[in-house]
């Protein structure tokens, strides 16, 4: 059997036939589109925080004004439930939105600090990297509830998921996150500040999110309207929690939206024992230094510290890089590069002399 044919047969054995479009010889193949997309999706989502930002961007692009993020972990299982009051998804699209290249943004894409959004790959990438991703409830004009279940032993997350980032004003007077672990909280915080005025983000446990929606979600248009509703699923997903008549109904609606809780917890929400959350942006800004004169960022941001061995290794890399200048301008280093690290910069100094 000729070598190329042998390679092709080996490449297409088992699942290979589904992955390879063409054998190009010498060990090269052309992947099928589906396999290329799958590999790209695996690359796009590196950690659970990446899942969070993709889901937040998706809700924003759906026109949501309020986004509620419930997050909790049991063992290695991280669960996320996102509720929003965006435009909603038709029932026949609940599964299709997780397929590659499916998007509602035919004529536009959204470019923000996190890149391009609108390629129809975000939800596909999320599902490829988690154990389960599904729409729990959504319909046009009624918002969306999506549940994500991830295995933290496969898709990593920051070890510290309880610390909030610090915030201060920059030299232009704008609020800027200055330190803190890049955890789920910080992901939501950065998004909330970036999209302030566009949408509000709330982050907490399942019980806290249910309590917040019960207290703050938009009301039904009128009590009279409720008389003609046979099923609360006819309402916006957030409003369902607001209009729940008692603890039993609140728990029932919360469970349908992925917010697991006991009836005792529901009773505590109704009794006001579990307080509603303030928005993420509101919590951050309440902790920021008051605008009384200029904020000295150097006192807030300690800057990076570099060990002696790392400085020496970095100086060696700079010496190698200097060869680019040396070969073109007939100069050479008269001493080793000097690396100095201050609060907000790294300075490398090259002492030079002419080549003989």
Q: Are 200 and 65 in contact (CB under 8 A)?
A: yes
Q: Are 45 and 35 in contact (CB under 8 A)?
A: no
- The pLDDT, as a whole number, for residue 276 is 94
- The pLDDT, as a whole number, for residue 291 is 41
* Cα of 68 vs its chain's centroid, Å: 14
Q: Are 121 and 101 in contact (CB under 8 A)?
A: yes
Q: Hey, what domains does the chain have and what are their CATH numbers? A: 3-31 (no CATH), 45-300 (3.30.565), 308-354 (no CATH)
Best CA proximity match to 270, nearest among 255, 298, 249: 249
CB atoms inside a 10 Å sphere around CB 216: 18
From CA 284, how far away is CA 83, in angstroms rounded?
Answer: 21
Q: What are phi and psi of 274, to 5 degrees?
A: -105, 110
Q: What are phi and psi of 179, to 5 degrees?
A: -165, 165
Listed in sequence order, the residues at least 6 apart from 272 whose beta carbon sits closer than 8 Å to its beta carbon are none
- The pLDDT, as a whole number, for residue 343 is 64
Best CA proximity match to 68, nearest among 263, 150, 59: 59
Q: Are 213 and 242 in contact (CB under 8 A)?
A: yes
- The pLDDT, as a whole number, for residue 55 is 95
Q: Classify burial at 351, counting beta carbons within 10 Å of its beta carbon; exposed 0-12, middle 13-18, buried 19 or more.
A: exposed
CB atoms inside a 10 Å sphere around CB 246: 11
Give the pLDDT means over successive 10-residue stretches in the chain (356 positions).
Answer: 44 56 70 69 83 94 95 97 95 89 66 65 87 96 96 94 82 66 93 91 97 85 55 86 92 96 96 94 76 40 65 80 79 81 81 72
Helix boundaries (H) for 140-296: 184-194, 206-216, 223-227, 237-242, 247-256, 263-270, 280-287
Instruction: Output b/e per residue, 70-81; b: 16+ Cβ within 10 A.
Output: bbbeeeeebbbb
Task: Provide the angle, in degrees to the nearest 10, between the axes of the packed helices 247-256 and 206-216.
Answer: 110
- The pLDDT, as a whole number, for residue 2 is 45
Q: What is the pTM of this model?
A: 0.71
Looking only at the bridges linking them, the beta strands covering 175-179 and 166-169 are antiparallel
Question: Measuring CA to CA, how many Å separate 344 from each of 142, 265, 314, 340?
Answer: 47, 47, 17, 11
The structure tokens 């399942």 sit at 206
Q: What are phi and psi of 263, to 5 degrees?
A: -65, -30
- The pLDDT, as a whole number, for residue 20 is 74
């Amino acid at each position: 059997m000729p070598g190329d044919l042998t390679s092709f047969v080996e490449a297409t054995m088992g699942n290979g036939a589904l992955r390879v479009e063409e054998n190009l010889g010498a060990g090269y193949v052309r992947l099928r589109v589906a396999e290329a997309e799958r590999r790209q999706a695996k690359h796009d989502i590196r950690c659970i925080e990446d899942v969070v930002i993709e889901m937040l961007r998706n809700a924003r692009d759906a026109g949501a004004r309020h986004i509620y993020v419930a997050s909790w972990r049991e063992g290695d299982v991280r669960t996320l439930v996102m509720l929003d009051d965006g435009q909603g998804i038709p029932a026949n699209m609940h599964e299709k939105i997780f397929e590659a290249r499916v998007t509602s943004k035919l004529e536009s894409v959204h470019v923000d600090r996190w890149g391009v959004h609108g390629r129809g790959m975000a939800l596909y990438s999320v599902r490829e990297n988690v154990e389960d991703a599904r729409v729990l409830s959504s319909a046009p004009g009624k918002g969306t509830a999506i549940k994500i279940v991830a295995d933290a032993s496969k898709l990593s997350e920051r070890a510290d998921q309880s610390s909030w980032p610090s915030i201060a004003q920059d030299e232009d007077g704008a609020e800027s996150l200055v330190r803190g672990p890049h955890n789920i909280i910080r992901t939501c915080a950065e998004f909330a500040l970036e999209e302030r005025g566009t949408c509000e983000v709330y982050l907490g446990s399942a019980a806290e999110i249910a309590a917040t929606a019960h207290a703050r979600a938009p009301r039904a248009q009128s009590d009279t309207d409720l008389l003609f509703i046979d099923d609360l699923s006819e309402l916006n997903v957030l409003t369902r929690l607001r209009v729940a008549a008692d603890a039993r109904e609140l728990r029932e609606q919360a469970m349908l939206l992925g917010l697991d809780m006991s009836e005792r917890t529901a009773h505590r929400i109704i009794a006001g024992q579990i307080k509603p959350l303030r928005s993420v942006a509101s919590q951050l800004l309440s902790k920021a230094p008051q605008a009384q004169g200029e904020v000295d960022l150097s006192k807030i941001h300690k800057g990076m510290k570099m060990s002696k061995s790392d400085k020496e290794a970095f100086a060696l890399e700079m010496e190698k890089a200097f060869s680019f200048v040396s070969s073109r301008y007939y100069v050479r280093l008269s001493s080793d590069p000097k690396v100095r690290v201050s609060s907000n910069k790294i300075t490398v100094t090259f002492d030079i002399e002419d080549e003989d």
